[in-house]
């Protein structure tokens, strides 16, 4: 059945047509206007715009991945540094294949003033005390204790640096 030269789509088949236009590998999750342009060339049904809008707004993939749908918060800027060794950031990065010495993680220390990055191999089960020892064995004798430590994800790790800095 045709209406104004376009194929009339029955109620049960409309969702299939919209899904094909919205999620096909060729078109790939376009918005309401583009889907309407593509579908209206060959198809017709009453209230097409409302049904397509409802379908697109209910698409989980679009709501998660489209940048216009993400709520972006304000970034908290890091302090501007005036002196070397004033602040460092550190983290553990891992899941690497085991090395000859059975290390599978990297302890990453970034000197924020110079942006110098130091990588030290370690094990996944490293404790806070071992991490503090690793840090001060590498930097403590040369540069002392930094004024600020940033981006430490573990509170125990941060607490282990306090007593060590006092020594």
Q: Is 163 a residue whose pLDDT tops 60?
A: no
- Give the integer Cα–Cα distance in Å for 112 and 16: 54
Nearest CA to 133 out of 106, 160, 96 is that of 160
Q: What domains can you pick out in the chain, each with its CATH number? A: 2-68 (1.10.340.70), 87-166 (3.30.420.10)
pLDDT digits 0-9 by tens, 64-95: 766 665 566 677 777 788 877 788 888 888 88
d(C-alpha 8, C-alpha 98), whole Å: 62
Instruction: Find the helix or strand (DSSP H, E) in which 18 lies.
Output: helix 11-23
Are 44 and 9 a contacting pair, CB within 8 Å? yes
Check residue 71 and give its pLDDT: 61
Give the pLDDT score at 164: 53
On whether the pTM is more than 0.85, the answer is no
Q: What percent of the chain has pLDDT over 90?
A: 3
Whole-number Å distance between alpha carbons of 32 and 21 = 10
Q: Nearest CA to 136 among 101, 112, 160, 116?
A: 160
Is the predicted pLDDT of residue 51 greater than 80, yes or no? yes
């Amino acid at each position: 059945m045709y209406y104004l030269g376009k194929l009339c789509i029955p109620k049960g088949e409309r969702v299939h047509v919209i899904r094909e236009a919205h999620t096909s590998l060729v078109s790939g999750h376009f918005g309401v206007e583009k889907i309407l342009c593509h579908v209206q060339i060959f198809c017709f049904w009453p209230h097409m715009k409302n049904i397509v809008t409802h379908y697109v707004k209910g698409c989980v993939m679009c709501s998660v991945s489209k940048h216009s749908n993400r709520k972006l918060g304000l970034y908290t800027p890091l302090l501007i540094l005036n002196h070397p060794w004033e602040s460092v950031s550190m983290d553990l990065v891992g899941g690497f294949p085991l090395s000859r010495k059975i290390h599978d993680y990297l302890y990453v220390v970034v000197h924020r003033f110079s942006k110098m990055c130091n990588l030290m191999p370690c094990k996944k089960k490293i404790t806070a005390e071992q991490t503090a020892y690793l840090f001060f064995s590498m930097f403590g004798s040369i540069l002392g204790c930094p004024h600020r430590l940033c981006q430490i994800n573990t509170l125990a790790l941060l607490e282990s640096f306090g007593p060590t800095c006092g020594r």
